[in-house]
Amino acid sequence: MHTGEGQLLELYYETERAAARILCPPLLIPAPGQYLLAHDGSDTPLAVPVFPAGPAADGFLAASSLPRAWTPGTQLHLRGPLGRGFSLPITARRVALLAWDDSPARLLALLPAAFKQDAAVTLVCQTAPRDLPPEVEVQPLQALAETLAWADFLAVDAGRESLPGLRSKLGERNQAAAEIQVLVRTQMPCGTLAECGVCAVRIRGGWKMACKDGPVFDWRELRG
Ligand code: FES
């Protein structure tokens, strides 16, 4: 874990692909599913978790949501990378990305690694970004069953409050499905520093903290 200075360079109008481009030292760039805590030096007491949406020159593309007060040129105090991110199996050749209830941006950070190992990629989402690489096939949420039958790895982005719905959708396919990892979005006000417990996620037989044990969890822990 490192600390350093960064800068918000660009904001994007359409946030489905990415919300901003952030300049930062290479050691601070989070891996897919990991995050940085960013603070703008204002009176706001809490830092903001910032997730990567993909690589960019001298930094990375950041997924939404970012504070409205951040504008191009905003200086950021950064801490990270934090948390456990996605672990794409090197054998995966049919990669599915499921944006269950939000923008797919956090999942799109996996594209370079998937393409590097010659995997085919299908994105299942409600609203697809316009500027996806042409190799990415896009399917609506209604096509989830077919995509699950095809994939050998599934990465999911879901809010903590949406996990019951995800469980009921994926539950009956637990045995047949590919390896599944889920990025659980929660508030993470302290980012491990104060052990506040706000980010607690119920797992099989107990609780874990999204900020340090996640935010990416193996589906077998979450499915209940
Ligand atoms: S955010 Fe405080 S313990 Fe996770």
Q: Is the pLDDT of residue 49 over 80?
A: yes
Instruction: Check whether residue 163 and residue 213 sit in a common domain.
Output: yes
**Residue 33: enclosing H or E segment and its boundaries?**
none
- Ligand 1 pocket test, pick from 35, 198, 217 with the greatest ligand atom count within 8 Å of Cβ, gives 198
Confidence (pLDDT) at 74? 96
Question: How far apart (Å, rounded) are the C-alpha atoms in residues 186 and 65?
Answer: 12
Q: Is the CB of 201 under 6 A from ligand 1?
A: no
User: Residue by residue, what is the 3-state secondary structure of 91-131?
Assistant: CCCEEEEEECCCCCHHHHCCHHHHHHCCCEEEEECCCCCCC
Whether residue 68 contacts residue 90, with contact meaning beta carbons closer than 8 Å, is answered with no
Closest ligand 1 atom to residue 194 Cα is: 2
Query: Domain range holding 66?
Result: 2-82
Beta-bridge partners for 76: 6
Give the count of domains, the chain. Answer: 2
User: Based on the domain organization, do 77 and 99 belong to the same domain?
Assistant: no
CATH of the domain at 107: 3.40.50
Identify the weakest region by mean pLDDT among 60-64, 95-99, 125-129, 168-172.
Answer: 168-172
Which of 82, 117, 143 is the last residue in one of the domains?
Answer: 82
CB-based contact 191:49 (threshold 8 Å): yes
Q: What is the C-alpha to C-alpha distance for residues 164 and 118, in angstroms, rounded to an integer?
A: 33
In contact, 128 and 104? CB cutoff 8 Å: yes
* Residue 209 pLDDT > 80: yes
Query: What is the per-residue pLDDT for 177?
Result: 59
- Nearest residue to 102 (alpha-carbon basis) of 34, 173, 31, 183: 183
Residue 220 has pLDDT above 90, yes or no: no
Distance 117 CA to ligand 1 centre (A): 34
Window from 30-34, 60-64, 76-80, 126-130 with minimum mean pLDDT: 126-130
- Kindly state whether residues 66 and 165 are assigned to the same domain: no
- Whether the CB of 46 sits within 6 Å of ligand 1: no
Q: Which of 36, 184, 199 to mutate to test the pocket of ligand 1 (most atoms within 8 A of CB)?
A: 199
Q: How far is the CA of 138 from the centre of ligand 1 (A)?
A: 34
Q: What is the pLDDT of residues 137-191, one digit of tens each?
A: 999 999 998 999 999 999 999 999 999 898 888 865 555 558 999 999 999 988 8
Give the pLDDT score at 92: 95
SS3 of residue 57 by DSSP: coil
Residue keyed to tokens 């950041």: 62
Task: Give the pLDDT of residue 64.
Answer: 81
- Ligand 1 within 6 A of 52 CB? no
Please, what is the average pLDDT of the chain?
Answer: 92
Tokens describing residue 94: 């049919």
Beta bridge partners of 139: 124
CATH of the domain at 7: 2.40.30
Q: Could you give the angle at the alpha carbon of 212 between the alpha carbons of 210 and 6, nearest 5°?
A: 100
Query: What is the mean predicted confidence (pLDDT) over 185-206?
Result: 89
User: Is the same domain home to 8 and 64?
Assistant: yes
Instruction: Point out which residues pair with 145 in neighbouring strands.
Output: none
What pTM value is reported for the model? 0.94
pLDDT at 224: 63
Query: Could you say which of 28, 56, 82 is where a domain stops?
Result: 82
Cα 156 from Cα 219, distance rounded (Å) = 9
Asked if residue 193 has pLDDT above 90, the reply is no
User: Is the distance from CB of 83 to CB of 211 less than 8 angstroms?
Assistant: yes
- Asked if residue 200 has its Cβ within 6 Å of ligand 1, the reply is no
- Examine residue 89 and state whether it is found in any structural domain, yes or no: no
pLDDT of residue 19: 94
User: Do 100 and 175 sit in the same domain of this protein?
Assistant: yes
Counting ligand 1 atoms within 8 A of each CB, the residue from 211, 213, 217 with the most, and so the one to mutate, is: 211
Are 105 and 66 in a shared domain?
no
Q: Is 33 in the pocket of ligand 1 (CB under 6 A)?
A: no
Does one domain contain both 64 and 7? yes
| CB 94, CB 120: distance < 8 Å | yes
Q: Is the CB of 37 under 6 A from ligand 1?
A: no
